[in-house]
């Protein structure tokens, strides 16, 4: 299982900061997370950047059990 790390609004929408999720691609990991955490998480995901092991990625990239998928929502500041 890959590790899903959630930050800021993604963490709030899911109610957790990390999860272990099965999937062979980044897209499968994200789809499983949406199925688990629901519409509010899906809305945040649509605005977020997704990284794999510290690098930007896309949904088609393969993952292994030792990988970390991170969801980084946009940051606002003042």
Stated pTM of the model:
0.93
Instruction: Quickly count: other Cβ atoms within 10 Å of residue 55's Cβ.
Output: 8
Please, are residues 33 and 23 in contact by the beta-carbon 8 Å criterion? no
How many distinct helices (H) and strands (E) make up the chain?
A: 3, 5
Joined tokens for residue 74 = 């946009």
Residues with Cβ within 8 Å of 66's Cβ and at least 6 positions away in sequence, in order, are 2
Q: pLDDT tens for residues 1-40? A: 999 999 999 999 999 999 999 999 999 999 999 999 999 9
**pLDDT for position 77:** 56
Please, are residues 39 and 58 in contact by the beta-carbon 8 Å criterion? no
Q: Which domains does the chain have, with CATH numbers?
A: 2-72 (3.10.20.30)
């Amino acid at each position: 299982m890959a590790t899903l790390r959630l930050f800021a609004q993604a963490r709030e929408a899911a109610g957790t900061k990390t999860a272990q999720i099965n999937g062979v691609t980044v897209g499968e990991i994200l789809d499983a997370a949406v199925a688990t955490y629901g519409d509010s998480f899906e809305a945040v995901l649509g605005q977020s950047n997704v990284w794999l092991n510290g690098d930007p990625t896309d949904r088609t990239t393969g993952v292994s059990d030792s990988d970390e998928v991170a969801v980084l929502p946009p940051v606002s500041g003042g």
